[in-house]
A and B are shown apart, each in its own frame.
Chain A
């Protein structure tokens, strides 16, 4: 489903390499954690996957898309199939939880009559049906991240990418968010989690790709976060 083949990403004309010749494959319905220190290249993988950047070398394949060759106008179609959440939530402070989720559907051109059901279903999935009217400042960090997750899920994407989703959260909220990610995975959605949270990775007991200095140094099917 997702295939990185011999991918390198360099900045500053080759002065700095974020990724060096990495190759890996992710199958449908997998739950994969990509771990490593800050600057190891985890977020670069996410940016390459959603076409925000192009690799300096190699191929990035997602389903039938060869992402590195897509033209700008073809990217929206790809991105509708990948739900992404970030450490900083990226919610709109002027909208409440419901409106934040609905906004993703509106701008994707979903008919008005379908929006309400889809938003309520997504908020229900992340356990926030009762907080639909709350604005971002009225939500805890964990709840805000779950709203972001509802927004990422509302379009029924094939893959959810969580880029350091627990970086700003306390252990309790972290556990809530990871639990929702596991539920999403159990429903058949592929989940890619980038993190440097050892506890989270160890508790999951799923596949772990370990990055260091832009290279894959370990890829274990039921791995743990091993400090290099």
Chain B
């Protein structure tokens, strides 16, 4: 079995080498397709990170009057947790915690620091911050809170509609971009299949004497057709490897900009974290293009 596999690979590499210029041209076209797919993967990851980051920032906040006791607020928290399925997380921020966070946020603003000192007392309210799994659920939660929380204890229920609009717009942009990218990639994949098909066809033609002798001496089907399928596999595998290697410096180049766009998102870490899957995905797409081309050429021009 290994002997046959070795021979098949040898014949495939012989075909590859005999028409190396054509092989290079074919690989360049497949490379273009794989680059577009790689772009879709990377763009998708950055977009997803941006969405998650924005979603994390929006919530419904209930600010309580300064005189509402902590027990009352914690009772309300338990009630909300028990009754609302949409709630993913409720965070209680006490008056002291709110003050600390405020001071931390404005530690470089001397005027605010000074004003707080002059005020002496803590002017900030305790609050409950409520997060949901989906942004669509936020209006539901806000409406529910308006119903169940007595007016006399509430200072304000804050829910920013604008953030939801931003999320919706970003989701739409990412969706349309990915769809357009996918259409482009599919179109290029068809072009690549046609180019690879022609190259493999020429391979069959330039090996016609060997093929005729293989038929004559009763070579099994796998020996006659296998080398040309192998040629498709070689194109796909080498190109996928090349694209993955080219992506490494690009990821390092883009990563700082991605972090600027989505604070906290590390593109380099994302890339190495999913490196094996990205590489296998590229190999899968590349080999599919090569093998589909081979199969079309073989079925049309290489009868037994």
Contacts and interface: CB of A to CB of B under 8 A. Distances in A.
A90 B209 CA distance: 8
A221 interface: no
Given A92-B209, A92-B210, A107 B3 contact: no
Interface in A71-111: 72-73, 75-84, 90, 92, 103-104, 106-109, 111
A151 B217 CA distance: 8
Contacts of B210: 92, 103
A25 to B, nearest CB: 23
B221 A106 contact: no
Contact of A75 (B4, B7, B218): B218
B180 to A, nearest CB: 44
B213 A73 contact: no
Interface string B1-37: 0011001000000000000000000000000000000
Contacts of A79: 215-218
A90 B220 contact: no
B4 A108 contact: no
B223 A109 contact: yes
A184 to B, nearest CB: 16
B303 A103 contact: no
B304 interface: yes
B219 interface: yes
A47 to B, nearest CB: 11
Contact of A90 (B7, B216, B224): B216
Q: Which of A103, A111, A152 has the most CB of B within 10 A?
A: A103
Please tell me the size bucket of the interface on B: 10 to 19
A73 B217 CA distance: 14
Given A72-B304, A73-B304, A76-B304, A109 B220 contact: yes
A8 B49 CA distance: 73
Nearest to B212: A90
Nearest to A107: B219
Contacts of A81: 218
A161 to B, nearest CB: 10
A27 interface: no
Contacts of A90: 209, 212-213, 216
A155 interface: yes
Nearest to A72: B304
A112 interface: yes
A83 B221 CA distance: 18
B3 A84 contact: no
A107 B11 CA distance: 10
Interface string B210-234: 1011111111110110000000000
Given A76-B221, A78-B218, A80-B218, A104 B7 contact: no
A92 B213 contact: yes
B218 A111 contact: no
A108 B222 CA distance: 10
6 contacts: A72-B303, A73-B304, A76-B221, A79-B218, A90-B216, A108-B219
Interface of A: 50, 72-73, 75-84, 90, 92, 103-104, 106-109, 111-112, 151-152, 155
Given A107-B220, A107-B224, A155-B217, 16 more contacts: A72-B303, A75-B218, A75-B304, A76-B220, A79-B216, A79-B217, A80-B218, A90-B209, A90-B212, A107-B213, A107-B219, A108-B220, A109-B4, A109-B220, A109-B223, A152-B217
Which 6 A-B residue pairs are closest in the complex by CB-CB distance? A79-B218, A80-B218, A107-B219, A104-B217, A72-B304, A76-B218
